[in-house]
Structure 1
Amino acid sequence: MPSILPLSTTLDFRKAKHLLRRATWVYNIDEINALVGKTASEAVDLLLSYTDQTLRAPFNPKAGHNAEGYFLDDPVRTEKGDNDRGYITGWWLYNATRFPSLKYKMSFFLHTSFSMEKRVGGSRPIRYYDHLRLLDYYALGNIKIFATKMTLDPAMLDYLSNDQNDAGSPNENYAREFMELFTIMKGPQIGPENYTNYTESDVQEAARLLTGYGIDGGRTTFDPDTGIRCGKRLTNKHDFGNKTFSAAFNNQTILGADRQGKSYQELEAEMKRELDDFVDMIFSQRETARAYARKLYRFFVKSHWNDDVERDIIEPLADEFIDNDFEVVPALKKLLSSAHFYDADNDDATDEIIGCMIKSPLQLILEIMSVFKCDVPNAVPPEPAGDNYTEEELQECLNWTYGFAFKFLYRSVFQSIGFDLFDPDSVAGYPAYYQQPDYDRLWFDSSTIIARYKLVSAFLTGDDNIGDGRSASFIPRLDPVSYVEDNCANPSDPNSLIVELSDLLYPESIDTDRVNYFKSYLVDEGFQDYYWTSAWTAYKVDPSEDSVVRNRLNALVTAMVNAPEFQTM
């Protein structure tokens, strides 16, 4: 039976790589070995300990405007559009790839739970940047508080038009999505305008309660808890009447306020109290806890599950959310430390968890970079910046921000691979996280598979062969010769080399037939293993003569990365 109880053994290599893949964006042999021998709880604690930002703000590739090197300090650039959103995406990516941190996996999880399209709500770079900062701030925090803060997020206010929601003309967009997608979810429809967990009248009352929230065009309003820019309460546009909800919420009434004789500050406090009461009402429903337990399970474990998992895993996770007032870390630790997460609670080979998920394009890209220890440029400007830049330091920053993150990933790969980071097609998010019955299998389709398979050759050659001709000026290089030489125990033995690489790259070990298949990229048909051994020995004698081993290893790495085994985790 599925068991939420802690894994009773320490992590072996197989379980360590499973946790690292599912819980972080950084995956390589060193980080795997750092987890081997730890209990699951100890390993999760380690992944929770990396929370710092390496790059404090997005770098400005047009540094002529701004001696500090950060374009958000430059008033000329803060109102710009697509390019600057690309640089901000690169800022988040750089931080996410520095350490094996659960923070950034959870930051992306919050994005999938409160989805926003950056080209709409984040159309102004400053709003997009602050939205990502909010995701990062609460990645390991309290989801209930985060839901309150998101209601005042300028990007979300713009995206779902809640800045246009006022007492005289209520706009239901944000209220509807807050309930249907972001928190309690619909449930089965059981009657006209009745969705089990709430009704249409509840949406209407919620819209009334959410009137009067606007965007501070001067960007001078800051949240007192986070220090991040936020929206403002416009008391003259708020409906201060009582709001009465349906039987789904026990007919609860959230009291409004009498405006007579109250100061602006007092009315603002009344609006805040109404919002807090509304969020408390939503999060006091067990279905909200279940909704987040299911989202967490689908994101980290598996897209499909049976009634046993619902009873023995989802329900205890819901309890964990309720018992900890929606702090996310206790539920996250319980799940990632459980025997069930490591598929160690039964012997049923038909419900394997390890290796059951298709990697997202983001996972695939970052894993290729980290597993092969690609030479990633340093995108951190020197402090203080300005005249203290050397040409080499400036070029490193530009290589990441402009050459790789913007030109290659943002403008080329993401658009070709069917995944635009932080810019899903709709408020529902990326279909792989919500669209039944295929879920993560939707990462593959006929229009995106070619770009997916071209990725490894781009890293091998440094050439952008994926996009529409706007080629990257920098791609971190994958050097298989150096990697094998520095990280593999016996690279001169083709069998040992392939087994070692496959154990690292794939969720499960491969059989002899697959070893022999991959060996054909090192040893031509009809030749003995010593052909590769001789080639490797010759290279070691004279490293300048590396064409044979390089060509063979390039072919091997391409085949192993593009194999079905590497597409799963």
Structure 2
Amino acid sequence: MASLNPLSSNLDLRKAKHLLRRASFTYTKEQIDTFVGMPAIAAVNSLTQASANALSAPYDPLPGDNPDGFWTFSPELPNSFEGQGRKRAQVTAWWWHNAMQQTTLKHKLSFFMHTSFVVGKDTGVGSATYFFDHINLLDFYALGNIKTLAKKITLDNGMLDYLDNTQNNKNNPNENYAREYLELFTVLKGEQIGPDNYTNYTESDIQQAAKVFSGIKKRPERTDIDTDTNIPMGYINVNQHDTDDKIFSSAFGNQVISGKDTELGILDELEDFVEMVFAQPETAKAYCRKLYRYFVKSHWNEQVETDIITPLAEILIANDYEILPVVTTLLSSEHFYDTDDSNATDNIIGGIIKSPLQLLSEVCSMFEVEYPDPTNNALFYYRNFFHYFIHNKYFPAAGMEFFNPDEVAGYPAYYQQPGFDRNWFGSNTLIGRYKLIESLIEGKNTISGGNIYAHLDAVTFVKNKIVNAADPNLLITEIADLLYPESIDDDRTNYFKSFLIDEGFPDYYWTGTWNKYLSNNDETTVKTRLNALIIAMINAAEFQLM
């Protein structure tokens, strides 16, 4: 029986790795060591703490002779700045660097919110500053309340542009946002049971929702500030709002939302609508299924639906859609660590293919990759390392447009049956994934050329992190125990050892080589060998899984 009971034993190495890589983008040996021996609930609770971001805002080091700098703080209209595509990429660079500075659920859940309330940063969200506000909104509620975010997102300037609600007027209704709000962002469709009837709502409900949303407009000047978040938001044009009563179908108990003709009254309509949608048990289940797919596994059976999804939905409802009670229950449960049954084919641990974002973040944090400091070397960080290499080359080659999914449904890994996370891995994305580690070790873009101004030092990593570096077998198993969800066998150890020792040479060849390096500090030979080993171990099938 699948169980949400708390894991009774303390975390061992295997479970500590599992929790850390599923719950955070930063993945370090030190944090793994901290988790080993801790009760699961204590470890999870430690991940719910988040300090202020290391970077308060993105910085544009261009144009070179007069940088736009912290343009998001400017009182100028956001669209008055040139290089909007570059600036949107810089917002993602700002977000990623902040995620690399904390071991916390915050950024993992912020990205989850992005997959739940999708915008494409380059496909309609507008100027880069609005995208910055949008990401700040996701960050603000990442450890908070989904229902409140579902209200606030309706007045988000970026969302208003992306799904056209700023064009939604009483005399010219635009149903785009209303449709996606029900179909993708909240309750979801359910099975179609009749013409224009999708079980959880009807086409008529979309039309009525669009009336609720009518008159909510983008504020280009960013002069309306939400008092709860201190983030700029849109506004309400009372004259363009449909003041008729909104009558919903039996899917929502035939509820009537009274039409209003004042700004406060229209906000009340929005409040009533969101409360109505979130009162549906299927809304809670929809979010819990998304959370399960994001944190645990892409596929599950009826037992998991009954014993895990449904109780989590009840917890979500009981806590008025606060996300942490659900996530902490799930991540500290017997089920999450696959100890609630004897079925060895469940494959929860090591059962998800890493996204390109997870792959990048794990490599950079585990190996302490030296990339330019965005505070002291903004040009090389924002332009050369992140924009030119990570954003423009690595992510597309690995099958991910960062914060810019092709569809409003999001990234196929989180919604597209039957592949789900398998969509990250294919013949067209393999080279991009494999070139990442080569590029970081060589310090150049091996996908298309150019200096990336970042470097992975394999020798320093082994010297500082691996206890038994002089023994080739123990060296490999220690690295594998850090990198892989499961331990490797002797055959795999011997395979990886071939990158350290030429065929036919005994183990002591490496021991002598390593000890010689320690005595004379000449890393020429060990660097070549360790670089080859790390490339092979990162590009192995075992590292593609988490």
TM over 0.5: yes
Matched with 1:348 is 343
- Aligned residue identity for 2:112: F
Once residues 205 and 195 of structure 1 are traced to their aligned partners in structure 2, the CA distance between those partners, rounded to angstroms, is 15
Once residues 500 and 311 of structure 2 are traced to their aligned partners in structure 1, the CA distance between those partners, rounded to angstroms, is 50
1:141 matched to 2:141: no
- Aligned residue identity for 1:410: H
Give how far 1:419 is off: 0.4
1:211 matched to 2:214: yes
Matched with 2:447 is 466
Matched with 1:429 is 410
Any idea what the Cα deviations from partners look like across 1:248-291, whole Å, max 9, x if unmatched? 1111111113x4xxxxxxx0011000000000000000000000
Once residues 452 and 253 of structure 2 are traced to their aligned partners in structure 1, the CA distance between those partners, rounded to angstroms, is 60
Give how far 1:352 is off: 1.7
**Contact 1:66/1:73 (CA < 8 Å) preserved in 2?**
no
Matched with 1:438 is 419
Matched with 2:540 is 563
1:274 matched to 2:277: no
Any idea what the Cα deviations from partners look like across 1:427-460, whole Å, max 9, x if unmatched? 0000000000010000012211111111111010
**Contact 1:51/1:103 (CA < 8 Å) preserved in 2?**
no
How high is the TM-score relative to the length of structure 2?
A: 0.97
**Contact 2:354/2:545 (CA < 8 Å) preserved in 1?**
yes
Matched with 2:502 is 524
- Aligned residue identity for 2:6: P
**Contact 2:60/2:67 (CA < 8 Å) preserved in 1?**
no
| Alpha-carbon distance change, 515 to 64 in structure 1, aligned in 2, over 3 angstroms | closer
Any idea what the Cα deviations from partners look like across 1:479-504, whole Å, max 9, x if unmatched? 11111011111111000000100010
Matched with 2:464 is 486
Give how far 1:9 is off: 0.8
1:505-520 superposed matches below 5 A: 505-520=483-498
1:105 matched to 2:108: yes
From 407, 420, 435, the equivalent of 1:454 is 435
From 281, 290, 304, the equivalent of 1:286 is 281
Once residues 522 and 361 of structure 1 are traced to their aligned partners in structure 2, the CA distance between those partners, rounded to angstroms, is 28
Instruction: Report the secondary structure of 2:86's partner residue.
Output: helix
Give how far 1:473 is off: 4.2
Once residues 51 and 239 of structure 2 are traced to their aligned partners in structure 1, the CA distance between those partners, rounded to angstroms, is 41
**Contact 1:51/1:101 (CA < 8 Å) preserved in 2?**
no
- Aligned residue identity for 1:103: K
Once residues 176 and 122 of structure 1 are traced to their aligned partners in structure 2, the CA distance between those partners, rounded to angstroms, is 17
Once residues 434 and 188 of structure 2 are traced to their aligned partners in structure 1, the CA distance between those partners, rounded to angstroms, is 36
Any idea what the Cα deviations from partners look like across 1:390-428, whole Å, max 9, x if unmatched? xxx3xx233322221211111211222210111000100
**Contact 1:342/1:354 (CA < 8 Å) preserved in 2?**
yes
**Contact 2:77/2:220 (CA < 8 Å) preserved in 1?**
no
Once residues 138 and 15 of structure 2 are traced to their aligned partners in structure 1, the CA distance between those partners, rounded to angstroms, is 28
Query: Percent identical across equivalent pairs?
Result: 51
Matched with 1:387 is none
Once residues 133 and 65 of structure 1 are traced to their aligned partners in structure 2, the CA distance between those partners, rounded to angstroms, is 29
| Alpha-carbon distance change, 45 to 68 in structure 1, aligned in 2, over 3 angstroms | farther
Matched with 1:56 is 56
**Contact 1:521/1:552 (CA < 8 Å) preserved in 2?**
yes
Matched with 1:264 is none
1:412 matched to 2:430: no
From 314, 321, 328, the equivalent of 2:309 is 314
| Alpha-carbon distance change, 67 to 438 in structure 1, aligned in 2, over 3 angstroms | closer
- Aligned residue identity for 2:514: W
1:165 matched to 2:168: yes
1:552 matched to 2:529: yes
| Alpha-carbon distance change, 76 to 534 in structure 1, aligned in 2, over 3 angstroms | farther
Give how far 1:160 is off: 0.5
**Contact 1:11/1:38 (CA < 8 Å) preserved in 2?**
yes
- Aligned residue identity for 1:246: S
1:143-292 superposed matches below 5 A: 143-257=146-260, 259=261, 267-292=262-287
Once residues 65 and 287 of structure 2 are traced to their aligned partners in structure 1, the CA distance between those partners, rounded to angstroms, is 44
**Contact 2:78/2:220 (CA < 8 Å) preserved in 1?**
no
Instruction: Report the secondary structure of 1:49's partner residue.
Output: coil
Once residues 304 and 324 of structure 2 are traced to their aligned partners in structure 1, the CA distance between those partners, rounded to angstroms, is 20
Any idea what the Cα deviations from partners look like across 1:316-354, whole Å, max 9, x if unmatched? 100011000000010111101101001111121011200
From 108, 114, 119, the equivalent of 1:116 is 119
Once residues 478 and 77 of structure 1 are traced to their aligned partners in structure 2, the CA distance between those partners, rounded to angstroms, is 40
**Contact 1:10/1:38 (CA < 8 Å) preserved in 2?**
yes
Give how far 1:379 is off: 2.0
Give how far 1:74 is off: 4.3
From 334, 349, 360, the equivalent of 1:339 is 334
**Contact 1:454/1:465 (CA < 8 Å) preserved in 2?**
yes
**Contact 2:441/2:456 (CA < 8 Å) preserved in 1?**
yes
| Alpha-carbon distance change, 22 to 539 in structure 1, aligned in 2, over 3 angstroms | same
Instruction: Report the secondary structure of 1:290's partner residue.
Output: helix
Once residues 124 and 155 of structure 2 are traced to their aligned partners in structure 1, the CA distance between those partners, rounded to angstroms, is 12
Once residues 427 and 288 of structure 1 are traced to their aligned partners in structure 2, the CA distance between those partners, rounded to angstroms, is 18
Any idea what the Cα deviations from partners look like across 1:166-206, whole Å, max 9, x if unmatched? 00011110000000000000001111111010111111111
Once residues 123 and 61 of structure 1 are traced to their aligned partners in structure 2, the CA distance between those partners, rounded to angstroms, is 21
1:542 matched to 2:528: no
Give how far 1:63 is off: 7.4
**Contact 1:403/1:473 (CA < 8 Å) preserved in 2?**
yes
Deviates more, 1:290-299 or 1:57-66: 57-66
CA RMSD of superposed structures (Å) = 1.5
| Alpha-carbon distance change, 347 to 400 in structure 1, aligned in 2, over 3 angstroms | same
**Contact 2:78/2:221 (CA < 8 Å) preserved in 1?**
no
- Aligned residue identity for 2:443: G
**Contact 2:350/2:545 (CA < 8 Å) preserved in 1?**
yes
Runs of 4+ more than 4 Å apart: 63-69, 74-77
Any idea what the Cα deviations from partners look like across 1:91-135, whole Å, max 9, x if unmatched? 001100001110000000000001111113333011110000001
**Contact 1:166/1:238 (CA < 8 Å) preserved in 2?**
yes
Instruction: Report the secondary structure of 1:486's partner residue.
Output: helix
**Contact 2:53/2:98 (CA < 8 Å) preserved in 1?**
yes
**Contact 2:62/2:68 (CA < 8 Å) preserved in 1?**
no
Give how far 1:70 is off: 1.7
Once residues 327 and 258 of structure 2 are traced to their aligned partners in structure 1, the CA distance between those partners, rounded to angstroms, is 35
Q: Paired residues, what number?
A: 543
Give how far 1:138 is off: 0.5
How high is the TM-score relative to the length of structure 1?
A: 0.93
